[in-house]
Structure 1
Amino acid sequence: MGITIRAYAKVNWSLSVKGVRPDGYHLLDMLMQPISLYDELSFENSRWLRMTVEGQGLPVGGRNLVMRAAQALNDALGTQRGAVIRLRKAIPARAGLGGGSADCAAALVALNRLWNLRLPLTTLVRIGATLGADVPFCLTGGLAHVSGVGDVLSPIDGAPRIPLVLVTPGGGLSTPQVFSHHDEMGLGVKPLDVGALADCLRRGDLEGAQALSCNALEAPAVDMMPQIGAFMQWFREQGAPFVRMSGSGSTVFAAFEDEARARALAEQVPGAAFAWSRA
Structure 2
Amino acid sequence: MLVEAFAKINWTLNITGLRADGYHLLDMLMQPVSLADRITLLPAEELSLTVTGGGNIPADDRNLALRAAKLLRKETGVSAGAAIHLEKHIPSQAGMGGGSSDAAAVLTALNRLWSAGLSGEELEALGVRLGADVPFLIRGGLARTRGIGEQLESIPSCRTYSLLVLQPEGGLSTAEIFRAWHDMPAERSADPEAALSAILSGSVAGRSSAFANMLEPVSRRFCPEIGTLIRALYDNGADLAQMTGSGSAVFGVFSDTGARNRAAALLASRCPKCWCCETQEESIRFQEDA
| Category of TM-score, reference length = shorter chain | over 0.9
Cα distance in 1, alignment partners of residues 73 and 200 from structure 2: 41
Structure 1 residues 143-174: Cα deviation after superposition (integer angstroms, max 9, x where no partner): 00111112111011114200000011122100
SS in 2 for 1:207: coil
SS in 1 for 2:182: helix
TM-score normalized by structure 1? 0.95
Structure 2 unaligned spans of 5+: 282-290
Match of 1:51 in 2: 49
Match of 2:106 in 1: 107
Could you tell me whether the CA contact under 8 Å between 1:215 and 1:244 is conserved in 2?
yes
Identity %: 39
1:203 matches 2:173: no
Cα distance in 1, alignment partners of residues 232 and 247 from structure 2: 17
Could you tell me whether the CA contact under 8 Å between 1:206 and 1:256 is conserved in 2?
no
Cα distance in 1, alignment partners of residues 137 and 21 from structure 2: 24
Could you tell me whether the CA contact under 8 Å between 1:112 and 1:119 is conserved in 2?
yes
Given candidates 8, 14, 36, the residue that maps to 1:10 is 8
Shift of 1:205: 0.9
Q: Out of 180-189 and 40-49, give the one that drifted further.
A: 180-189
Match of 2:68 in 1: 69
Q: CA RMSD in A?
A: 1.3
Cα distance in 1, alignment partners of residues 116 and 130 from structure 2: 19
Q: Displaced runs of 4+ in structure 1, greater than 4 A?
A: none
Could you tell me whether the CA contact under 8 Å between 1:129 and 1:136 is conserved in 2?
yes
SS in 2 for 1:31: strand
Cα distance in 2, alignment partners of residues 257 and 29 from structure 1: 27
Match of 2:288 in 1: none
More helix, by proportion: 1
SS in 2 for 1:53: strand
Matches within 5 A, 1:116-135: 116-135=115-134
Shift of 1:190: 2.4
Cα distance in 1, alignment partners of residues 45 and 190 from structure 2: 51
Cα distance in 2, alignment partners of residues 72 and 193 from structure 1: 33
SS in 2 for 1:7: strand
Match of 1:274 in 2: 276
Could you tell me whether the CA contact under 8 Å between 2:237 and 2:259 is conserved in 1?
no
Match of 2:90 in 1: 91
Structure 1 residues 73-111: Cα deviation after superposition (integer angstroms, max 9, x where no partner): 111023332111111110011100001000000001110
Letter in 1 for 2:274: A
Cα distance in 1, alignment partners of residues 256 and 105 from structure 2: 31
Cα distance in 2, alignment partners of residues 72 and 209 from structure 1: 42
Match of 2:150 in 1: 151
TM-score normalized by structure 2? 0.92
Letter in 2 for 1:38: A
Cα distance in 2, alignment partners of residues 76 and 14 from structure 1: 33
Cα distance in 2, alignment partners of residues 274 and 28 from structure 1: 28
Letter in 1 for 2:239: P
